[in-house]
């Protein structure tokens, strides 16, 4: 009996359909490990596929980062603004035949204020000079240190060799 070589996993991965599925998973934010475990292939095989599709892979990865960033921004905005949570509770009564009858409907609304931690984070990131005193002081000290170094460098200028005439003058130490 003649045995035919089976199709390599890399050839299967390189098919347009499989490649498209992998790129979709990457763009949805799945980790590489999750993808190659789902495909039942080794990390080395997946790395070969990634090397062959480097540009498409990078585009899909960039898309997933953009989606995650947008989601984080939306979550932060919700925390900054606060809001109202509405919950409906239905009470039913069942008869002998198992038919349900609506007895009452309650609507509960709960307001939640803006999250102060999210507000502080946004203010400090947006205007650190005004809202992040420690960071502002650090920057102020860094600038002050630079001014002192500048003064020292300017004072040392007088000791350059070209500032002394030939003769018996020696360079001060």
Which mean pLDDT values do the consecutive 10-residue runs of the chain (173 residues) have? 58 88 93 92 91 94 91 91 92 90 92 90 83 73 68 74 61 55
pLDDT at 173: 56
Beta strands of 77-155 (E only): which ranges?
83-94, 100-112
- In percent, how much of the chain has pLDDT > 70? 82
**Whole-number Å distance between alpha carbons of 130 and 123:** 8
pLDDT at 144: 66
pLDDT at 7: 62
**Are the C-beta atoms of residues 6 and 12 closer than 8 Å to each other?**
no
User: Among 140, 141, 123, which residue's Cα sits nearest to residue 132?
Assistant: 123
pLDDT at 123: 87
* pTM check: above 0.75: no
pLDDT at 1: 42
């Amino acid at each position: 009996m003649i045995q035919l070589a089976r199709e390599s996993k890399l050839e299967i991965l390189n098919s347009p359909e499989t490649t498209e599925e992998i790129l979709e998973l990457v763009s949805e934010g799945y980790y590489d490990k999750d993808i190659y475990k789902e495909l039942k292939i080794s990390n080395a095989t997946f790395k070969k596929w990634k090397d062959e599709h480097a540009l498409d892979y990078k585009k899909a990865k960039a898309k997933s980062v953009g989606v995650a960033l947008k989601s984080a921004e939306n979550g932060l905005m919700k925390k900054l603004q606060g809001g109202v949570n509405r919950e409906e509770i239905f009470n039913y009564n069942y008869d002998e035949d198992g038919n349900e009858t609506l007895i009452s409907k309650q609507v509960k609304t709960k307001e939640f204020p803006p999250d102060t931690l999210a507000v502080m984070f946004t203010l400090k990131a947006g205007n650190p000079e005004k809202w992040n005193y420690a960071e502002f002081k650090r920057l102020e000290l860094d600038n002050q240190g630079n001014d002192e170094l500048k003064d020292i460098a300017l004072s040392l200028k007088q000791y350059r060799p070209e500032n002394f005439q030939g003769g018996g003058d020696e360079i001060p130490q």
